[in-house]
Amino acid sequence: MIIKPRVRGFLCTTTHPVGCDANVRQQIDYVRAQGPIENGPKKVLVIGASTGYGLASRISAAFGAGAATLGIFFEKEGTEKKPGTAGWYNSAAFHKYAEAEGLYAKSINGDAFSDEIKQKTIDTIKADLGQVDLVVYSLAAPRRQHPVTGVVHSSTLKPIGSDTVQKGVNTDKGEIQDFHLEAASQEEIDNTVAVMGGEDWQMWIDALDEAGVLAEGAKTTAYTYIGEKITWDIYWHGTIGAAKKDLDKRVVDIRERLAKNGGDARVSVLKAVVTQASAAIPAMPIYLAILFKVMKEQGVHEGCIEQVDGLFRDSLYGATPRLDDEGRLRADGKELAPAVQETVAEIWGRISTENLTSESDFDGYRQEFLRLFGFEIDGVDYEADVDPVVPISNLV
């Protein structure tokens, strides 16, 4: 099968297995080039391990600290007629490279919100690892079936309090336009918090701790994004922000639970990057395109792997963690630097369809978006016939 990208809005409906493999390999090479992570984790559970920051966490733990990793994700395998999801191919590549290094790697494919997958994870840890010393929570799902009530909650991308008009870009046409966003109802806010907030993270830690599979001194982190004023209406002050603020509330109890055994729990703040989730937020593609231009010009641009590798070295396992007043670990300093944000704000004020490509790195944004699906990777022959059926070894 010769696979080409098919993009509709913020979705790419095709994926390239060889490209995904090459993308994973590049991230592994980056981590290795930084040298070993001193005092890093040895047995790691990554919940949401197949794309973005979760995948980068698994790669950093395995190839930076030599850790055994167990990954949880919900992905589709390819068939002879249709490619699988990018997360499936990413995970298959990760397994291949980890096993070539003699590193333990197993994965569980299923609904991480369910009690069934939590129990399967606990059973696997008990059988293979005994205990884990780091739990990374990096789920990005549009809906969640609550394991207790059975209710299916769906998240929304809406402002809170009042309607708003936000500048964005039609990624299909490359045109700047205004997006009118209706204010969320309380039910929509509550549903978004149920999907993207901290309840499931807390349920995971409670279940793991009660099962005795958290090692003494175990750490856990969940990822968040705060950003700056340009994105606050739809993000930090919107429904997603309400969910992220729920992480800040939940982490207090999680930290207290783990502290009893010498452990710790932190929310980690990361910078804006291109992900399947961020591509769906109206203001983010244009904000990212401007941010890329500015950070590249200032020599401080970072993607997922640079962010997470730095987080592990500087804060999670560093001697002097970068903490804010709320007790969060911060890895977003380069994005929020005044020199960056002031320039971004200036460009934001004058960006238009006519100057989109000159005033922003929209081409770079589109390339990063396609890279999520295995396209636009240097060294990959996209005219070659590839097999879309790629098994994941050691799938539990």
Residue 359 placed within a domain = no
Helix (H, G, I), strand (E, B), or coil: what is residue 7? strand
Residue 19 has pLDDT above 80, yes or no: yes
What confidence tens digit (pLDDT) does each residue in 40-59 have?
A: 999 999 999 999 999 999 99
What confidence tens digit (pLDDT) does each residue in 275-297 have?
A: 877 777 778 888 999 999 999 99
β-strand pairing of 7-8 with 11-12: antiparallel
Determine the structural domain holding residue 103 and report its residue range.
Answer: 7-154+186-280+302-332
% of the chain exceeding 70 in pLDDT: 100
Query: Which residues define the annotated binding site?
Result: 48-53, 74-75, 111-112, 139-140, 225, 244, 273-275
pLDDT of residue 212: 97
Residue 89 placed within a domain = yes
Mean pLDDT of 318-331: 94
What is the H or E stretch that residue 219 is in?
strand 214-224
% of the chain exceeding 90 in pLDDT: 82
Residue 318 placed within a domain = yes
Contacts of 63 (CB under 8 A, 6+ apart): 28, 31, 32, 97, 98, 101, 103
Cα–Cα dist 396/393, whole Å? 9
Residue 124 placed within a domain = yes
- Across the chain, mean pLDDT equals 93
Residue 290 placed within a domain = no
Catalytic residues: 235
Q: How many CB atoms lie within 10 A of CB 349?
A: 8
Number of structural domains found in the chain: 1
Residue 220 placed within a domain = yes
Query: Could you tell me if 190 and 154 are in contact, meaning their C-beta atoms sit under 8 angstroms apart?
Result: no
Between residues 30 and 7, which one has the greater pLDDT? Answer: 30
Residue 203 placed within a domain = yes
What confidence tens digit (pLDDT) does each residue in 126-185 have?
A: 999 999 999 999 998 899 999 999 999 999 888 899 888 888 887 777 788 888 889 999
Query: Could you tell me if 319 and 389 are in contact, meaning their C-beta atoms sit under 8 angstroms apart?
Result: no
Residue 289 placed within a domain = no
* Closest to 315 in 3D by CA, of 270, 347, 354, 284: 270
CATH of the domain at 239: 3.40.50.720
pLDDT of residue 305: 96
Query: Which residues define the annotated binding site for substrate?
Result: 225
Query: Which residues define the annotated binding site for NAD(+)?
Result: 48-53, 74-75, 111-112, 139-140, 244, 273-275
* Closest to 272 in 3D by CA, of 291, 294, 298: 291
Q: How many CB atoms lie within 10 A of CB 99?
A: 13
Mean pLDDT of 303-330: 95
Cα–Cα dist 300/19, whole Å? 26
